[in-house]
Amino acid sequence: MALMSTPPNKYNAESAFEREAWDGAEQDRLGTHLVEGALYAQFTFEDGRTVTRLPQTLDLYCSSCEKEQTFERTTVPTGSDDFGWAKSVVYRCRNCQARYQAFLYTWNKQGFWKVGQTPEVRERIDPALKKALGKSIVLYQKAVRSRNFGFGVGAVTYLRRIIEDKTSQLMDLLKDEKWNSWSEEERAEFENARKTYQYSQKIEYAAEKILPPRAFANGRDSFTALHDVVSSGIHSKTEEECIEIFDRCNVIFTRTFQILHEHKREREEFAAQLTALKR
Ligand SMILES: [Zn+2]
C-alpha cells in the first residue's frame, strides 16, 4: 500500500512560513554578533530555539575597498549544521575578492560564542572624535578594546573616567558657543547646571543645546545608559549588561563631543579669518 502523505493544511503552511521568518531574523542577529560582538560573550537565540547555520553573507568593513561591503562565506559547511567546538568560518569580500575575515567559534545547545577572529575586531576611531578627546583618547581606546574582548565592566569604567575628565571642558565649550546669544535666564540656568548637576545631567543638558533636535530625541535611551555609567547603576551589572550599556551610551557620547568640538573649531577659524581681514 502506498504511503499517504498528510495534505498540507493552513496551520502547517503558516507555521512553516513563520519558522522561516524567525530563522532569517535570528540568523541576521547572529551575523551582527559575529561582526560586532565581544569575544567570549554568550549569544543566545530567542524563545530557547536555535538556527543551525551561520549566515551566508555578512556586512563588513573592507580595508581594501575602504568601505562596508558584502562578504561571502567561502568555507563549505560540512555536515547538516554548523555546530561544533572551536570551529572556523571564513568570509571574503564579494567586491574586491582580496580581503578575508575569519572567525573561530563554539556553538552548542547552550549558545554561541565567538572565541577568536582575524583580522581583529575593528578599533577604528573616528578622526573627529580623536581630536575632540585629546589626551583622553588613550583611555577611550582602552574602553573600546575592553568592550571587544568582553570586559564590559572595564569598558564602562574607562568611559566613566573620560566623562569625569571631559565634562567641565564640555561645559566650557558650550559656554563659548552660546553665551553671547543667551538671555539672562539662560545664563543663570547654565551656571546652575555647572554648579549643581551631576556629570550625566551636564552632558544631557549640553547635548540638548547643541545636538540637532532629532538626534537628541533619538538619543533619549542613550542618556539613561550614560547615567548608569556615571552613577552607581553599574555596580550590580554583568559583563554582558555592561557591554550593552557601553554600546548604548557610546553613540550619544561620541556625537556630543564631536559636534561640540567641530563648532569650536569652526568658530575659531572664523575668528581668525575675521582678524586677518581687519589688518
Ligand atoms: Zn573589498
Centre of ligand 1 to C-alpha 99, Å, is: 6
Residue 4 has pLDDT above 60, yes or no: no
Confidence bin at 185 (pLDDT 50/70/90): very high
CA of residue 88 to ligand 1 center, whole Å: 21
The pLDDT of residue 251: 79
- Give distance in angstroms: CA of 120 to centre of ligand 1: 16
Q: How much distance in Å is there from the Cα of 51 to the middle of ligand 1?
A: 28
Average pLDDT, the chain: 85
Amino acid, single-letter form, for residue 218: N
Instruction: Tell me the per-residue pLDDT of 195-243, one tens digit each, with 9 for 90 and over.
Output: 999 888 888 888 888 777 777 777 777 777 877 787 777 788 888 889 9
Q: Is the predicted pLDDT of residue 8 greater than 50, yes or no?
A: no
Length of the chain: 279
CA of 58 to the centre of ligand 1 (A): 12
Per-residue pLDDT reduced to its tens digit, 58-113 = 999 898 998 999 999 998 777 889 999 999 999 999 999 999 999 999 999 889 99
Distance 203 CA to ligand 1 centre (A): 38
- Whether 187 shows a pLDDT value over 80: the answer reads yes
**pLDDT score at 9:** 47
Tell me how many degrees the CA angle 181-184-185 measures, rounded to the nearest 5.
Answer: 105
CA 85–ligand 1 middle distance (angstroms): 29
Q: How far apart are CA 121 and CA 250, in angstroms?
A: 17
For the chain, list the domains and their CATH numbers.
30-118 (no CATH), 127-278 (1.20.120)
Rounded to the nearest angstrom, the distance between the alpha carbon of 83 and the centre of ligand 1 is 28
Question: Taking the model in full, what pTM does it have?
Answer: 0.69
Per DSSP, which regions of the chain are E strands?
42-43, 57-62, 67-73, 84-93, 100-108, 111-118
Beta bridge partners of 92: 72, 100
